[in-house]
Amino acid sequence: MAIKDQFLFFCTNVGNEKLLKEEIRVFYPDFNFSYSRKGFLTYKNKGINYDLDTISQLELTFSTTAGICLGQSKPNSLLEAVKNSCDEIMLDLSKCMIHSFSINTEFELPALEIFQKEVNEYAPINKTIIDIITLGEEEVWYGVHKVGKLSPNYPNSHIDIALPPEAPSKSYLKIAQAVELFHIQLNSTDGWFDFGSAPGVASYYLLSKGCKVWGVDTAKMDSIVMENSNYTHFSKAVQDLSQEDLPYRDIQWVHVDLNLNPKQAIKEVLRLCKKYSARLKGILFTVQMVKNEYVQNIEDFEDQFYDWGFTNVTSRQVPSHKNEYLILAKR
């Protein structure tokens, strides 16, 4: 699939447009900025054109969905516009899935009626997706991408997860979305460390799935967590913990959400994780973007996990993230 003047689209969490622009500037200098609205950007590709296979390999931390931009339309002419674009690039629309979503608008496009097929279903690896992006009642953009290991299976990475009324805070959604988007298997036999656990949102989620959790935080934990028999609390700063303080039983996973400089936080957590060595399955590490310059450190942060021995390291935002993102390091 070749397009003479290729344009690419990128979606992001509303409010993170500057972070995504900076990431593209640093890591994809061949992309020239073209157009933006809240949560949506387009770029002209001045380098080698992407096809459906290579577009799925784009690595952008602050993009919730990315693809080849095919055009813009009003709702009443959308179907014809999409069909024409698919014909131009020799793409069989009937074999594509439709992901339709709105960004920063309450208007919802009746995509099911327009396309006369199911929309917003889970998309497996290698499936071609037509993305329908509604920015307003009269502004709809559309593009295409192929699902790869780095691209989302859900429309714009969004998963419908209900917030339990007893959850300590809405931050519960961050780990719940991460587990679903990254396909992390939660087993009741697994032990988790939760660094920066207060008030207990991640611990609560993991406990609700039957996991055993050891939390580390000097701040107060919610009683619903503290009263759970599968939870053990360390009221210490991570810097003050030693490996001797940690339990001797196996720990398979680590969740980290610390209010520390990312470089220091990564160093402290990996220092403690040495106790569990190769038995550790993975680490979910939240990077607080207190400085936009941290965008330039994305690869440096990942390298620290590679150097420690992890073979699969990914940096991504989930829909509930604001000025933060998640590093998933797995073996």
Cβ neighbourhood burial of 219 (10 Å; 0-12, 13-18, 19+): exposed
Amino acid type, 184: I
Quick one: 118 and 21 in the same domain? yes
Q: Examine the domain organization and report whether 253 and 203 are in the same domain.
A: yes
Task: Using the predicted structure, report yes or no on whether residue 3 has a pLDDT greater than 60.
Answer: no
Contact 288, 259 (CB under 8 A): yes
Q: What is the pLDDT of residues 102-121, one digit of tens each?
A: 999 999 999 999 999 999 99
Looking at the fold, whether 145 and 179 belong to one and the same domain comes out as no
Residue 207 within a domain: yes
Is there a single domain that holds both residue 243 and residue 117? Answer: no
Task: State the pLDDT confidence band at 2, using cuts at 50, 70 and 90.
Answer: very low
Query: How many domains is the chain built from?
Result: 2
Write the secondary structure of the chain as one string of H (helix), E (strand) and C (coil).
CCCCCCEEEEECCCCCHHHHHHHHHHHCCCEEEEEEECCEEEEEECCCCCCHHHHCCCCCCCCCEEEEEEEEECHHHHHHHHHHHHHHCCCCHHHCEEEEEECCCCCCCCHHHHHCCCECCCCCCCCEEEEEEEEECCEEEEEEEECCCCCCCCHHHCCCCCCCCCCCCCCHHHHHHHHHHCCCCCCCCCEEEEECCCCCHHHHHHHHCCCEEEEECCCCCCHHHHCCCCEEEECCCHHHCCHHHCCCCCCCEEEECCCCCHHHHHHHHHHHHCCCHHHCCEEEEEEECCCHHHHHHHHHHHHHHHHHCCCEEEEECCCCCCCEEEEEEEC
Report yes or no on 151 lying in a domain.
yes
Q: Are residues 74 and 220 in the same domain?
A: no
Average pLDDT over the chain reads 94
Residues 184, 47 share a domain: no
Asked if residue 256 and residue 199 are part of one domain, the reply reads yes
Q: Is the pLDDT of residue 127 over 70?
A: yes
Same structural domain for residues 192 and 126? no
Mean pLDDT of 24-34: 97
Residue 166 lies in a domain: no
Residues 102, 215 within the same domain: no
Residue 250 has pLDDT above 80, yes or no: no
Checking if the pLDDT of 291 tops 90, the result is no
pLDDT at residue 150, as a whole number? 80
| Residue-range definition of the domain harbouring residue 312 | 172-330
The answer to whether position 2 is within a domain reads: no
CATH for 312 = 3.40.50.150
Establish if 275 belongs to a structural domain. yes
pTM value is 0.93
Segment among 15-19, 96-100, 245-249, 303-307 with least mean pLDDT: 245-249
Q: Which of 102, 125, 157 is the last residue of a domain?
A: 157
Q: Are residues 30 and 80 in the same domain?
A: yes
Q: What is the pLDDT, as a whole number, of residue 53?
A: 92
- The CATH number of residue 136's host domain is 3.30.2130
Peptide bond just before 165 cis, omega within 30 deg: no
Whether 205 and 141 map to the same domain: the answer is no
To the nearest whole percent, how much of the chain has pLDDT over 90?
A: 86
pLDDT bracket for residue 65 (50, 70, 90): very high
Q: If pLDDT is split at 50, 70 and 90, which confidence band does 192 have?
A: very high
On whether residue 306 sits in a domain, the answer given is: yes
pLDDT for 209 beyond 80? yes
Check whether residue 245 and residue 192 sit in a common domain: yes
| 285 found inside a domain | yes
